[in-house]
Amino acid sequence: MIIGIAQLNYHIGNFDKNISKIISAIDEAKQYGADLILFSELSISGYPPMDLLEREGFNNKCYEGIKQIASHCDTIAAVVGGPLKNPELEGKNLFNSAFFLYDGDIKEVVNKSLLPTYDIFDEDRYFEPNKEFKVIHFKGKKLALTICEDLWDQQEFEADFGKNNIYKTSPMDELVKFNPDVILNIAASPYSYLNESSKKEIFISKARNYKLPVFYVNQMAAQTELIFEGGSMVINQHGEVYDELPFFEEDIRFYDLDKVLNHEVLGIESEETSVIENIHNALVLGIKDYFSKMNFKKATLGLSGGIDSAVCLVLAARALHPENIKVLLMPSEYSSEGSVSDSVKLAENLGVAYEIIPINDIVQSFKKALNPSFGDLPEDVTEENLQARVRAVLLMAHSNKFGYILLNTSNKSEAAVGYTTLYGDMSGGLSPLGDVYKTDVYNLARYINQNQDIIPCDIISKPPSAELKPDQKDSDSLPEYAVLDQILFRYIELQRLSDKIIEDGFNPELVHEIINLINANEYKRYQAPPILRISSKAFGSGRRIPLVANYNYL
């Protein structure tokens, strides 16, 4: 049996495009002589469709698309993911289903049993869980068809509170009773740099445990803030990786099941990529797909001479091409000469258009207008924030006039502790670095410069500063980022209590101060633009913290 894996980039609700991609892959599989080709979870609609699933017209279009695809499955079978209406009077309206298409029709349907409801997932909101198990008989083989979490029922969550295993049942334990020949798993699993190795280990352990080969296909796409890496793979019955598809690329490959079982070929050895390289590629894909799927063409940002805007600009240039980007350099009286010259050099290195608009006169006019109210009160963070907000006004004016989408350049460290200005540097339509800690922003810069100095070295080497007052440095208000980021990671990603963080050797007063800053600035993050997610706990839809609450005991 020849099995194909189609790792494709879908667009939520774009049925014509999704159907065309799937049919094109089926035609390629026919030419190859494949018997079966697999597509990812909810491939007909794109994942996650969220509350579009509550609209009858959307679900009708999904089913019509499945039927259209089935008509092309005459000499070949295909597994396509999509929602299916629940015919029962009780329960949720839909199932999350895998449609087995063959001989021009829907031959079998397998419904998802384990519906993740944590982090960014909210499948229990829409879907009824499956409670009946079966294998699919096809060309003399018994296929154990599973949908994402149904094969991942023993995930471990690294946190001090919670269960290692959140599910009480194992669908594969039920399916193995039918003596299947192969496990098929269709998924829509988003990228996290923390889970790169653990995903592979899940499939390796399942293959070894059940002594069955695993064919896994994952979506490769960015859908708003979520980035799906692909990384589909084939594992033989001994838990050996037979082949892996690339991260962040569309790909279609075909495999002879007998060769997988008999070790005739152990697959293509792929080059190991670093975590930073994968984060870089994920962010480039995230920007590219956000713009293309929203039909946006051009971007702008404020280029300050700092590390964040520099890295953000390089990522945008690689995602959108330099000719589609224009940046503004908006020096104030506190901006160093090097900040301007380094920004100019970076823009010229990339071939990006730029314009210099000094903001001092504008800021002074704001101060003059506010003088009757402020009187002789000493200057403080209010005047600092005026500069950030003036810059945002200029950037948004260019956005409106020329059709640019403003990219936010704040990083996760700053967003975590509120070292950002509402309606100032928090403005934007997309935040590429909002899930990247400052220390990793520097690592990204070094990765970008690994072959040539694209980002001027002075941007990387100088102490970070917002340059909103004389001789200002980030370290005036915050601990060194090498320390801050470790505390943030333990509190945000690992969700550790303050006492546990202190036990790791951090200063108790500092730990409590940082945690208080995180909790006190939740209201700011509610107003942030969509943040591209590259971790297991990004600010945004996967981290739901109440605004009006008392956090003192944490």
C-alpha to C-alpha distance for 196 and 243, rounded to whole angstroms: 16
C-alpha to C-alpha distance for 75 and 90, rounded to whole angstroms: 38
C-alpha to C-alpha distance for 109 and 499, rounded to whole angstroms: 50
Q: How far is CA 211 from the centre of its chain?
A: 33
C-alpha to C-alpha distance for 305 and 354, rounded to whole angstroms: 13
C-alpha to C-alpha distance for 476 and 185, rounded to whole angstroms: 51
C-alpha to C-alpha distance for 26 and 31, rounded to whole angstroms: 9
Q: Which of 62, 73, 108, 112 is catalytic?
A: 112
Q: Which of 62, 73, 148, 312 is catalytic?
A: 148
Distances (CA, A) of 389 to 299, 398, 434: 19, 14, 19
Q: Which of 41, 149, 225, 467 is catalytic?
A: 41
Q: Is the dihedral of CA 177, 183, 190, 495 positive or negative?
A: positive
SS (H, E, C) 51-102: HHHHCHHHHHHHHHHHHHHHCCCCCCEEEEEEEEECCCCCCCCEEEEEEEEE
Tokens in use for 548? Answer: 């009006």
Tokens in use for 85? Answer: 């209406």
Place of tokens 């005026």: 386
E strands of 380-476, at which residues? 404-406
Residue type, 157: F
Query: Is 503 a residue of the active site?
Result: no
For every residue of 163-222, DSSP letters joined together read -S---S--HHHHHGGG--SEEEEEE--B--TTSHHHHHHHHHHHHHHHT--EEEEE-EEE
Instruction: Determine if the peptide bond prior to 171 is cis (ω within 30°).
Output: no
Backbone angles phi, psi at 359, to 5 degrees: -110, 0
Contact 306, 441 (CB under 8 A): no
C-alpha to C-alpha distance for 261 and 236, rounded to whole angstroms: 6
Query: Is 500 a residue of the active site?
Result: no
Q: CB under 8 Å to 348, separation ≥6 — which residues?
A: none
C-alpha to C-alpha distance for 362 and 343, rounded to whole angstroms: 21
Query: Is 148 a residue of the active site?
Result: yes
Q: CB under 8 Å to 166, separation ≥6 — which residues?
A: 118, 155, 157
C-alpha to C-alpha distance for 166 and 225, rounded to whole angstroms: 25
Cα angle for residues 275, 276, 277 (degrees, 5° grid) = 90
DSSP structure class, residue 456:
-
Which residue, among 248, 255, 156, has the nearest Cα to 199 in the 3D structure?
A: 156
3-state helix, strand, coil in the chain (%, to 5): 40, 20, 40
Q: Annotated catalytic sites, by residue?
A: 41, 112, 148
